[in-house]
Amino acid sequence: MSVVLDIVGASIVYQVPGGAIRAVDGVSLELKASKTLAVVGESGCGKTTLAKGILGLEQLARGEIRVRGEAVTANLKGLAKRVGIVWQDPYASLDPRWRVGRSIAEPLVVNRENGVSIESRVDEVMRQVGLEPSMKHRFPHQLSGGQRQRVAIARALALNPPLVLCDEPTAALDLSIRAQILNLLKDLQLDLACAYLYISHDLTTVRFIADDVAVMYLGRVVEVGPTERIFSNPRHPYTRALLASAPTLEKLGRLPEVLPGEIPDPREIFLGCRFKTRCPNRQQRCDTEDPGVSIEDSREYYCHFPVD
Amino acid sequence: MPALDIRDLKVSFGKTDVLRGVSLAVEPRETLGIVGESGCGKSMTGLAAMRLLPPGGKITAGRILLGETDLRSLSESKMRHARGSEIAMIFQDPFTSLNPMMRVGAQIAEAIVLHQNVGKATAQTRAIEMLKAVGVPSPDSAARKFPHQLSGGQRQRVMIGIAFSCHPKVLIADEPTTALDVTLQAQILALLKELQEREGTAVLLISHDIGVIGSVSDRICVFYAGRVIEEGPRDRLLKNPRHPYTRGLLGSLPGEAERLVSIPGQPPDFSTLGRDCSFSTRCAYRFDKCVTEPTLLPLGGDHRASCWLDTFPQDAPVAKTEAAE
């Protein structure tokens, strides 16, 4: 199966007063056609910055990001044909003064393709996402939240890109609408064979939609592998803590487990493991030695003293 | 006796009723979870109980009993005194509910001076003790900080500190962890539980997150279109939901299944609601009785649902489709 997205040792650094923030620090990931890779982690872990790197919106300090074998920075203008993006809040990502049909058509107009009728492509992609083509004359405020997110998905798919980034696409939606959008994303993937890079902090959603999951903490991937394996048997203590702190209906009447502390100031220079300040398994070695990769049944993790 | 007992509360904006007869009660030390989707009236119920409705909103009927006092009958100045000392509320986003121009220690002390008849110096000392109790690291220096100098989790701790500083009997927590990451959410839920147990507070926890509701509530109310459509003890309600809407909500949670069950359609527009059941337009089980909206009907064991299905099972048709989009 062909590799759609290939990230090799990518770093993105922000210069800020008082130092530099390595928001993405040596991340390597691979995503194949028709597959979904979820990137999970808390605010400030670098997941959205990574998405900006894939979209060519942030310069890489080191490493490379390739979509279909071509570096994103090599051909920024043609990138829209290779990467689509669905943001969290469709009300903010759609122009409120444009009829939604115009928003969906915009990538087709900009990347003019000969012999393709823009009108008929808009109708087609609207049907694919479950919208009546007659709705293209409406404004975003005349649609419901779920319909707006369908418009945003139609726009991302207009050029039929092999890779679609989804940055918290259901976080702003109510539960019953969220279910509709998740089903839609799954159906579209079956029909179009596109790959999703699915960024989310919502673990139950990730378990439903993703084939593989990468857990990020402070700019680094700490564990990556097949979703079921990671959810049923996490090896990195942060992955375990993340799963244990999410309240679910299996744990009725029980408070979720507490991981003490907060994410440290990212400007600090880190010696040793980045998770050491909050880690229950911390030992002397973690203070000085950055853990390297351990590989174990197609899963990778970075920890000296993993969870059993 | 319940700490807070809301009976048949109605709130309207102009001609539109947004709460259409809400009744709920919460005992001391108990957590009542309120769950529902955007616009169902769950936050409006909290704001009405605080008598802090947004402009244009009016309580048109019902009683809000705090112990034996009906909050509706209080003068504005008496109500202002009750707010904070008897009934307090915390909101989703501590950054917008804290004063950005005021040091956090002073914000906690302000509430203490207002309600507890102590001097400024004592209030300041108590504010620092409160910061310590809610787990803000180095409380002495934190008291001198402004809200923007604290992290999101610490700001929510400060809000909780203000809410508990005057020992209210009832705390309304409106989506208190929604803006927080999952590990911080777990910390804040544990903190709320700890303070509630120490103070014996009755807590009304409003959330759209059924996982949060299921982990901390003793009892649960499900809201739909400005009414309570199902209520009951936590385990009973979540393991054996009886209202088709509650079943739909739980079905739309990602689980083992390949596809999620979603509820077809949209919540109704309040201005077009008639006499029929407000969920009937989306309900797969609709039958002829649904032209009138049922009250909460008893199902045994404190479990009640506003649905005709269980009372007249012999009339009910077999469900047409479960997984309609």
Q: Find the closest chain B residue to A45 by CA distance.
A: B181
**Per-residue confidence (pLDDT) for residue A193, from 0 to 100:** 95
Chain A neighbors of B179, CB-CB under 8 A: none
Mean pLDDT score, A128-154 = 94
Cβ atoms within 10 Å, residue B55: 5
Alpha carbons B29 and B207: distance in angstroms, whole number: 19
Identify the weakest region by mean pLDDT among A101-105, B6-10, B161-165, B269-273. Answer: B269-273
> Which of B37, B40, B181 to probe the A interface (max A CBs under 10 A)?
B181
Would you say the C-alpha torsion A222, A228, A229, A233 has a positive or negative sign?
Answer: positive
Its pTM surpasses 0.80: yes
**Per-residue confidence (pLDDT) for residue B320, from 0 to 100:** 45
**Per-residue confidence (pLDDT) for residue B323, from 0 to 100:** 39
Please name the residue that has the structure tokens 């019953």: A176
Q: Cβ B216–A178 below 8 Å, yes or no? A: no
Please name the residue that has the structure tokens 């030695």: A289
pLDDT at residue B322 tops 50 = no
Token reading at B271: 């201005």
Q: Cβ B259–A183 below 8 Å, yes or no? A: yes
**Per-residue confidence (pLDDT) for residue B311, from 0 to 100:** 64
Mean pLDDT score, B2-26 = 96
Please name the residue that has the structure tokens 């969220």: A178
More confident residue, B264 or B203: B203
DSSP at B91: -
Q: Which residues, 6 or more positions from A255, have their beta carbon under 8 angstroms from its beta carbon?
A: B186, B189, B190, B193, B215, B216
**Per-residue confidence (pLDDT) for residue A281, from 0 to 100:** 94
Pick from B98, B157, B110, B153: which is nearest to B133 by CA?
A: B157
Mean pLDDT score, A216-225 = 96
Q: What percent of chain A has pLDDT over 70?
A: 99
pLDDT at residue A297 tops 50 = yes
Torsion of CA B125, B131, B132, B138, to 10 degrees: -90
Would you say the C-alpha torsion B207, B211, B215, B219 has a positive or negative sign?
Answer: positive
Q: Cβ A252–B234 below 8 Å, yes or no? A: yes
Q: Cβ A247–B211 below 8 Å, yes or no? A: yes
pLDDT at residue B319 tops 80 = no
DSSP at A22: E
Mean pLDDT score, A159-188 = 93
> pLDDT tens across A28-66, in order?
999 999 999 999 998 889 999 999 999 999 999 999 999
Would you say the C-alpha torsion A44, A45, A51, A54 has a positive or negative sign?
Answer: positive
Pick from A294, A44, A4: which is nearest to B152 by CA?
A: A44
Would you say the C-alpha torsion A137, A143, A147, A150 has a positive or negative sign?
Answer: positive
Pick from B91, B315, B289, B183: which is nearest to A238 by CA?
A: B183
**Per-residue confidence (pLDDT) for residue B312, from 0 to 100:** 56
B64 touches chain A (CB under 8 A): no
More confident residue, B27 or A92: B27
Which residues face A20 on adjacent strands? A15
pLDDT at residue B313 tops 70 = no
Pick from A200, A100, A209, A197: which is nearest to A158 by CA?
A: A100
CA distance A220 to chain B (A): 18
